[in-house]
Amino acid sequence: MSHTITIKVRGYHLDLYRHVNNARYLEFLEEARWSFLESRGNLESLDKSGHTFAVVNININYRRAAYMGEVLHITTSIKAIGARSCVMHQLVTLQGTDIVIADADVTFVLVDTRTEKAAPLEGELREAMEWMAKPT
């Protein structure tokens, strides 16, 4: 399933070149991932089970600059589920168009907070990830 949020580019998002700084996109993407997880997952249950999310890799492509006043749509979905990690795909587009601002693949693991190691995605953890990835 995909989930989309909207972010309006504000003056404080801009760098000296008057466009969104590349590092700011990482914050936009993180906001979108949390919104996805809140809409599709049971974060309280995950926390009680002693697990948390940790990003281990981000591959991002910057396609076009974004400027003050523009409205961005960030769509997030789960692309792949492995034995210990998942990949989320994120697409940033300009509202009302097909113009791609950026796209990213973000690899994350579920960390067992007791051992501080990546938990195997099996049983209930895997079912939860598969449910989040399921189309609605």
Distance CA 61, CA 101 (A): 9
Residues 6+ apart with CB under 8 A from 25: 60, 62, 92, 102, 104
Stretch (H or E) spanning 131: helix 123-133
Distances, alpha carbon 76 to alpha carbons 5, 16, 38, 53, 116, in Å: 9, 29, 12, 16, 26
Residues known to be catalytic: 15
Distance CA 126, CA 63 (A): 33
